[in-house]
Amino acid sequence: MKKRVFSGARPTGSQHLGNYLGAIQNYVSLQEEYDCIYCIVDYHALTTMEGREAVKTLQPNIREMALDWLAAGLDPERSAIFVQSHVPEVAELHTILSMNTPLNWLMRVPTFKDKVKQQPENVNYGLLGYPVLMTSDIVLYKAEVVPVGEDQLAHLELAREIVRRFNYLYGDTFPEPQAKLAHIPLIVGLDGVQKMSKQLNNHIELAATPEETETRIMTAFTDPARKFRRDPGHPEACNVFALHQALKVVHADELAKACRNAEIGCVECKRKLAQEINVMLAPFRERRMELAGRSSYVDSVLKEGADRVRRIAQRTMEEVRRNMGLV
Ligand code: TRP
């Protein structure tokens, strides 16, 4: 039997190049080897939103994200693609696992400490329980392999501790999930400093037009030591070169050489990058337009995905209650 993969992402709306190279491409290729479940985690998103205005953005964001996943090649025939809250069993498991999770394990999670700093006005209980909910996502479907970025490793470590404790207390129930890091763990944004993110507005949107893509790339920061066209460049210190490399362009070595010898300027180099990205994304963009035009397609994929995984979830919950003597 194929091993099961589970991954989740918060519904951040239309996806960017960092999401694509860092996560989505990996999701797509894992479909060859594994039984994959991909989840849009709307409950998790609620840990950082309050009020109806904020929550109203969830539905369009879920739809945009699902469209990007599907256009990129997630195949609903092979993989289950669904929305977390459509299978509420996860909330039940979260409640149960929260009783076996010592508070001090949660209080030392680095992402929790970051959030406390970022949103001191909204340090809610759900934020502390975030990793318990994430553990519930994974183990509800008994997934063993979890493709994530480096920033999630601490959460997975905690997930394994929670699983070990549950298995010790109530008998072997869940497999210990293992992280699977993507080949490209971090894509830096156009500012050349921080991780590519929509929030920081240093991103390249997948669904943008080729013209928008080029205009945006022209604003990117490059090697800060190269002031004039005649100055030799330092590709290893250049964000635009890092993107050329991330795209696995065949001639990246030649490009590095030309930059070091000041044979190519930053403007030309950026134009090349825009062209490469536009060529790479052309089939994606075409397919996205086509899927967006089919009314209710996304809804039916998400519904079918939830129906499929709900059966697994219900079976796991029966086993959990049985093992605990909660019957
Ligand atoms: N915490 C993950 C993130 O911020 C999202 C997530 C929720 C997740 N549940 C998951 C990832 C389960 C992997 C498995 O990116």
Domain presence at residue 204: no
Q: Looking at the structure, tell me whether residues 76 and 182 fall in a common domain.
A: yes
* Same domain, residue pair 172 and 317: yes
In whole angstroms, give the CA distance from residue 217 to residue 210. 11
Q: Which of 3, 195, 272, 303 is catalytic?
A: 195
Residue 16 domain-assigned (yes or no): yes
User: What's the rounded Cα separation, in Å, for the pair 309 and 299?
Assistant: 16
pLDDT for position 194: 92
pTM to 2 decimal places:
0.94
Distance CA 139, CA 232 (A): 52
Q: What is the pLDDT of residue 185?
A: 58
**Pair (214, 259) in one structural domain:** yes
CATH code assigned at 73: 3.40.50.620
The Å distance, Cα 188 to ligand 1 centre, comes to: 20
- Using alpha carbons, select from 125, 46, 137 the residue that is nearest to residue 87: 137
Q: DSSP string of 104-123?
A: HHHHT-HHHHHHHHH-GGG-
- 133 C-alpha vs ligand 1 centroid, how far in Å? 9
Do 276 and 302 lie in one domain? The reply is no
Number of domains present in the structure of the chain: 2
Probe residue for ligand 1, chosen from 5, 41, 176, 180 as the CB with the greatest number of ligand atoms within 8 Å: 41
CA 131 – CA 47 distance, rounded (Å): 11
Same domain, 137 and 28: yes
Helix (H, G, I), strand (E, B) or coil at 7: strand
User: For position 248, what pLDDT does the model report?
Assistant: 81
Task: Say whether both 169 and 55 belong to one domain.
Answer: yes
> Of all protein residues, whose CA lies closest to atom 2 belonging to ligand 1?
9
* Residue 303 designated active-site: no
319 domain-assigned: yes
Give which of 275, 236, 228 is closest to 257, Cα–Cα: 236
Q: Do 129 and 79 fall within a single domain? A: yes
Tokens read off for 127: 């934020």
Q: Backbone phi, then psi, for 35, in 5-degree steps?
A: -90, 105
Owning domain of residue 279: 210-289
Give residue 149's pLDDT. 87
Residue-wise DSSP of 187-249: -B-TTSSSB--TTTT---BTTS-HHHHHHHHHT----TT--STTSPP-GGG-HHHHHHHHTT-
Report how far ligand 1's centroid is from the alpha carbon of 130 (Å).
Answer: 9
Element containing residue 134 per DSSP (H, E): helix 125-140
Q: Is residue 201 part of a domain?
A: no
The tens place of each residue's pLDDT in the chain, 327 residues long, gives 899 999 999 999 999 999 999 899 999 999 999 999 999 999 999 999 999 999 999 999 999 999 999 999 999 999 999 999 999 999 999 999 999 999 999 999 999 999 999 999 999 999 999 999 999 999 999 999 999 988 899 999 999 999 999 999 999 999 999 999 977 757 899 999 999 999 899 999 999 999 999 999 999 999 989 999 999 999 999 999 999 998 887 788 999 999 999 999 999 999 999 999 999 999 999 999 999 999 899 999 999 999 999 999 999 999 999 999 998
Residues 152 and 262 in one domain: no
Residue tagged active-site, from 198, 227, 257, 272: 198
Residue from 93, 129, 95 nearest 111 by CA: 129
pLDDT digits (tens, 9 = 90+) for 268-305: 999 999 999 999 999 999 999 999 999 899 999 999 99
Residue 314 lies in a domain: yes
Specify the long-range contacts of residues 193-199, CB closer than 8 Å, at least 24 apart.
193/221, 195/18, 196/16, 196/17, 196/18, 197/16, 197/18, 198/12, 198/13, 198/14, 198/16
Contact by Cβ (8 Å): 76, 304? yes
- Nearest-atom number in ligand 1 for the CA of 149 is 15
45 neighbors 11 (Cβ within 8 angstroms): yes
Which ligand 1 atom minimizes the distance to the CA of 147?
Answer: 13
Is residue 48, in this structure, part of any structural domain at all?
yes
Place of tokens 């090697």: 223
Residues 283 and 150 in one domain: no
Q: Compute φ and ψ for 9, nearest 5 degrees.
A: -145, 145
∠23-28-31 over CA atoms, to 5°? 125
- CATH number at 274 reads 1.10.240.10
Judged on CB neighbours under 10 Å (0-12, 13-18, 19+), 57 is middle
Q: Is 56 a catalytic residue?
A: no
Could you tell me the two tokens for 275?
């062209």
In a domain, 170, yes or no: yes
| CA of 9 relative to ligand 1 center, distance in Å | 5
Q: CB within 6 Å of ligand 1 — which residues?
A: 6-10, 41, 44, 134, 137-138, 146, 148, 152, 155
How far is Cα 172 from Cα 126, in angstroms, rounded to an integer? 27
300 occurs within a structural domain = yes
Based on the domain organization, do 167 and 225 belong to the same domain?
no
Kindly state whether residues 177 and 154 are assigned to the same domain.
yes
Question: Hey, whose CA ends up nearest to atom 9 of ligand 1?
Answer: 134
Same domain? For 302 and 245 the reply is no
Residue 125 Cα to ligand 1 middle (Å): 18
For the CA of 6, the nearest atom of ligand 1 = 14
270: annotated active-site residue: no
